[in-house]
Structures are given as structure tokens and as C-alpha cells.
């Protein structure tokens, strides 16, 4: 998987394990890939495919990558593809999260329409396919941005994202609750179904 983010790895492993028995995920560090792939795309779909293809080419493994973020229509779609670096903070992940949340609240001040979506796109790329067979799946979940953070779990914008169906922010959900309803959960379910379909086709052809 084209990431070094331990939180993301843990979440993906837990989600995929529910759908595909015996699957093992390796991070960029696990396969010895150094450096970062520039996210030069203008959409989640473009960025995730850029990362997946780069990881597949360098590692020689079937590779997946995700690009996730928060989309607030009242802010013209911000933070969008810049969600992780919205405030431009270069500190630790926790420091970046605090800075991003603070900027989001500042930009949302006085705005009544607080509707937002978490979006997760996952790309899967083959190491020697030349792009053939590569695909992207997408998951979305709707909510609202609160005026102050609530909860201590999760990461990113979770403390500000109110999920009305459960009456909690994503940061107030248990890992088990979040893994059933999150944008990442929806996307991973679609990924798992696609991978199982590919596996069945290969078994029929063998």
C-alpha cells in the first residue's frame, strides 16, 4: 500500500480483513521505497492512481493507494485534495491535524450551510500492466462540520465531522463503529468486491 501512515495502514488492514481472508498489506517502508510521489493531480482519483502506479512500478507488487479528504461545498470544495496539507503545517501528524482543523473552523465562521462529505478514492495498479486493468473505486459519507471539536478518537478532521445517523462525530465513534460507516469503509468494500471478482476470473482462466 502506497503509504507510510500507520493509522491508515491499521484502518485498511482491519477493513480488508473483514472481506478478504488472509490478505497482507505492506507499506512503502516495508518494501524499502524511499521518497514521496508528488501528488500532481487535481482530483482524488488522479492523485490516488499516480501513487498506486508509482508504488507498483517500484515495488513489483500489486499496489493500492488512497486519496481521501474532506469536501465542503460552502467553501468551494475545500479542503479537497489539499485536506492533509490545508494549513501548510510541517509539524507532526497531530500538529498538522490541529492546524488544519483550526483553519477549517476559521474559514467556516459565520457560514450556516455546514454540509460536508468525506471522500475516499482507492486505486489499484498492476506492476507490469502498463495501465491495463488498473481501476479506482470511491466511497463517500455525508455529515456536517461542527463549530468546535468533539471526541478524542480517529484523526484528521474526525473531531469536527458530525455523523447524524449515529449522533456522534467520527472522533466519538469506536473503531468498530467507524469501520462500518466511514468513507474509507465504503471504498474498501468496493475494492474488496473488485479484487474478489478478479480472483474468480483468474481461477476460471487457469
Secondary structure (3-state) at 189 = helix
**How many whole angstroms separate alpha carbon 117 and alpha carbon 70?**
6
**134 is an active site residue:** no
CB 138 within 8 A of CB 187: yes
Considering the candidates 66, 67, 97, 158, report the single residue annotated as catalytic. 67
| H helix intervals, the chain | 6-17, 44-59, 93-108, 175-181, 183-205
Residues with Cβ within 8 Å of 53's Cβ and at least 6 positions away in sequence, in order, are 63, 123, 125, 131, 134
Nearest to 25, CA basis, from 57, 84, 65:
65
Gap between the Cα atoms of 156 and 108, Å rounded: 17
Residue numbers annotated as active site: 67
Amino acid at each position: 500500500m502506497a503509504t507510510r501512515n500507520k493509522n491508515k495502514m491499521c484502518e485498511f488492514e482491519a477493513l480488508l480483513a473483514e472481506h478478504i481472508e488472509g490478505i497482507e498489506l505492506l507499506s512503502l517502508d516495508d518494501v524499502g521505497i524511499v521518497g514521496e510521489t508528488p501528488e500532481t493531480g487535481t482530483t482524488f482519483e488522479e492523485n490516488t492512481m499516480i501513487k498506486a502506479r508509482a508504488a507498483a512500478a517500484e515495488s513489483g507488487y500489486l499496489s493500492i493507494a488512497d486519496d481521501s479528504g474532506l469536501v465542503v461545498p460552502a467553501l468551494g470544495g475545500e479542503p479537497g485534495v489539499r485536506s492533509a496539507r490545508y494549513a501548510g503545517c510541517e509539524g507532526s501528524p497531530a500538529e498538522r491535524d490541529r492546524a488544519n482543523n483550526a483553519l477549517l473552523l476559521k474559514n467556516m465562521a459565520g457560514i450556516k450551510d455546514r454540509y460536508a462529505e468525506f471522500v475516499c478514492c482507492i486505486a489499484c495498479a498492476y506492476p507490469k500492466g502498463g495501465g491495463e486493468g488498473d481501476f479506482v473505486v470511491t466511497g463517500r459519507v455525508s455529515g456536517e462540520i461542527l463549530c468546535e471539536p468533539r471526541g478524542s478518537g480517529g484523526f484528521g478532521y474526525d473531531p469536527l465531522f458530525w455523523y447524524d445517523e449515529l449522533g456522534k462525530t467520527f472522533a466519538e465513534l469506536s473503531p468498530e463503529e467507524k469501520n462500518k460507516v466511514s468513507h474509507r469503509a465504503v471504498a474498501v468494500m468496493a475494492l474488496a468486491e473488485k479484487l474478489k471478482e478478479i480472483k474468480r476470473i483468474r481461477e476460471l482462466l487457469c
